[in-house]
Structure 1
Amino acid sequence: MKKLGTLFIVTVLLALGACNSSGSKERFLPPSTGGINSLMVVMDTELWRGPVGEKIREEFAAQIVGLPQIEPKFSLTQIPPKVFKGTTTHSRSLLYVEQDSTSLAHIKNDAYSKPQKVAVVTGPTEEVLIKNLDSLADRAIKEFKANEIAEAQKRFERSLSKDKALEEEFGIQLNVPSLYKVGRRENKFVWMDIQIPKGTMNIIAYEMPWDYFNNDSTFVEDIVRMRDSIGKSFIPGPYENTYMITEKAFAPYVFPAEIGGKKAAEVKGVWEIHGYPMAGPFLTYIINDKENNRKMIIEGFTFAPSEAKRDYMFELEAILKTIKFDSDLPKG
């Protein structure tokens, strides 16, 4: 087992060193493979079944906040080191864990394919492996996710919408796949959606006054008040006097963020229809657009009853994160 771990580490370091020592010659790397939000875990099966594997599942398959049902951050596939060869080495996101005399916890880029993130964790005992996993998990998850966002964006950039509604209404640009269509546009409000097998994926945009959120102690309540007001005015339910609101049972989650080069708040939660049994997840960005003296709001939400929603929401997040402001773009 120790030889396998050392061999893997040496192979990765030699492969990466080849890039640096070849001068202007760039080493050929095949394109990486794998489904969005999938993670290949290379480790001994006995370790996978024990406390080390449990630690990996606890960190990398943890429940995503803001979804109405339990869904993992990544879909994990475990293989033993002896079958880690050929196309299995081309996985876009790799976690290699090996019990070895060397203690390591680091991340390498493009070791076998491109783009690729390889997190390597080794240690002489299970206790050290768990400790190293704990020290690396947050960073690895962040880098894996950023790599997945970039891959999702690359996939839908092949065919983008040419609709100018967002630019004309708000002076913003989003890379929205061409299958999304504008269904409503009025009074500084734009709603785009796409049909999916059992529902819809939606993007909305609107703006609020710069000083709309002027009290940190009521920030979450103000977000709910804002979303409920917009829902009542622009997002009707299936029957009269029904409309979208923020789920009453649980407050949304709020995180600091940066998007489009500006500070923002990221809001995750569940929407529901007032007066009718419909619900689903939403992701909202409240962006500090000081140049235009406003809060720019962009949101994605999904309606897909009885379906997994992680990857739908991930696509919406990837779209929203392409935002650019005309005021920030070079003139001429």
Structure 2
Amino acid sequence: MKKIILVFFATVLLISCVGNDKMILRDSIGKINKVMVVAKISDWTGDVGQEIRNTFGELQVGLPQPEPILSVSQVAPNGFSSMMKSSRNILMVLEGEQEGISVKKNVYAQPQTIVYLQAKNDEAIINIFNKNKEKIKRIFLDSDIAFTQSIFAKNKLDDSKYKTLQNLGISLTIPNKFNTVDDTGDFLWLRNHLTSGIAKSGSNNILVYSLPLEDGLQVADSIVVNRNKIGKKYIPGYKEGMYMITEEAYTPFTFDAVVDGKKAYETRGKWEVKGDFMAGPFVNYTVFDEEKNRLIVVEGFTYAPSVSKRAFLFELEAIAKSLKIK
């Protein structure tokens, strides 16, 4: 009788595991913006590894201190243990006759993104990687954006209580650690006071407002001018005559982007307070809403003296990219 019961439960368990992959997938681990590379030691210490490190190690523009876009670590295939397989972002470098890249989700853990890079020799691996390196970077970054947004969604603010968001007809996934600084109906400013380590005197900030869409060809050229106008009107310093502006000694970088399926510009640079020594990085998303002949602007800026800022700005990027225009 006992044997029959044991067989019954074993069969139920087996059927459950096969029928629902989520039951057998552990939670993934790993820091945001970090990729584990599974490659032979000879590849990692040779030209293949050099190309990967150079690509992922490119410096993020707009930050006051040099910080890479992605951090990397390496493990040999024979050291790719059960714990290693739980990593959230993995790049597998393989040798084989079938050449190219492929992407799989949630293979050993969830959420998880694995990019497979395969070619017949080192030269071919480097060639394929270089042709696809921007795509590969974007795959990992977008995966971390989605992961960060899922974390924020678990404890998010009720955005229906903000006059500006309601008047603009938009929504954002904003974690509930943010507090209101200003909400005029036309302009929203939210702030999260940082509480950890030596960054505890700093803050993360979100700005939301709209602008008329007058000449689409001039939008990219007017982003700095418009954000300086907003800073002067809404973001004062501690003394009269002080307000936030775009740092005059540093030219921001503007890239094409897509937010909520709409054309947008992503601008990264540094802000400062006119007449003061406060400064830091910002990321600005100017989104075309052609249906209503306007631009929706969502910007994040951080103030965190003496510490690395990549992670703070990435959180703000994830919030901005959660924008939905109703």
Distance 1:257 1:86 in 2: 37
Q: How does 1:233-244 map to 2 (within 5 A)?
A: 233-244=233-244
* From 198, 203, 207, the counterpart of 2:206: 203
Match of 2:232 in 1: 232
Change in 2 beyond 3 A, CA 1:158/1:187:
closer
1:99 Cα offset (Å): 4.6
User: What one-letter code is carried by the residue in structure 1 that aligns with 2:81?
Assistant: K
Match of 2:36 in 1: 40
Match of 1:6 in 2: none
User: What one-letter code is carried by the residue in structure 1 that aligns with 2:183?
Assistant: R
TM-score, normalised to structure 2's length?
0.86
- Secondary structure in 2 matching 1:107: strand
1:282 Cα offset (Å): 0.9
Match of 1:141 in 2: 137
Change in 2 beyond 3 A, CA 1:62/1:209:
same
1:38 Cα offset (Å): 1.2
1:109 counterpart = 2:112: no
Distance 2:258 2:131 in 1: 24
User: What one-letter code is carried by the residue in structure 2 that aligns with 1:128?
Assistant: A
Q: How does 1:262-277 map to 2 (within 5 A)?
A: 262-277=262-277
Distance 1:133 1:258 in 2: 24
- Secondary structure in 2 matching 1:149: helix
**Given that residues 63 and 71 in structure 1 are in contact (C-alpha distance below 8 angstroms), is that contact kept between their aligned partners in structure 2?**
yes
Match of 2:197 in 1: none
Aligned length, in residue pairs: 301
1:219 Cα offset (Å): 4.2
1:39 Cα offset (Å): 0.7
**Given that residues 165 and 185 in structure 2 are in contact (C-alpha distance below 8 angstroms), is that contact kept between their aligned partners in structure 1?**
no
Distance 1:112 1:67 in 2: 34
**Structure 2 gap segments, 5+ residues each:** 1-17, 195-199
Distance 1:305 1:254 in 2: 24
Distance 2:49 2:96 in 1: 16
- Secondary structure in 1 matching 2:48: helix
1:58 counterpart = 2:54: yes
1:195 Cα offset (Å): 0.5
Distance 1:105 1:320 in 2: 30
Give CA deviations for 1:181-231 in whole Å, capped at 9, x if unaligned. Answer: 1111226111000001240000011111121xx273x54442111111111
* From 122, 139, 150, the counterpart of 2:118: 122
TM-score, normalised to structure 1's length?
0.84
Sequence identity (%): 36
**Structure 1 gap segments, 5+ residues each:** 1-23, 327-332
CA RMSD in angstroms comes to 2.1
Give CA deviations for 1:134-165 in whole Å, capped at 9, x if unaligned. Answer: 12322211111111011101111111112521
Distance 2:253 2:152 in 1: 28
Match of 2:9 in 1: none
- Secondary structure in 2 matching 1:144: helix
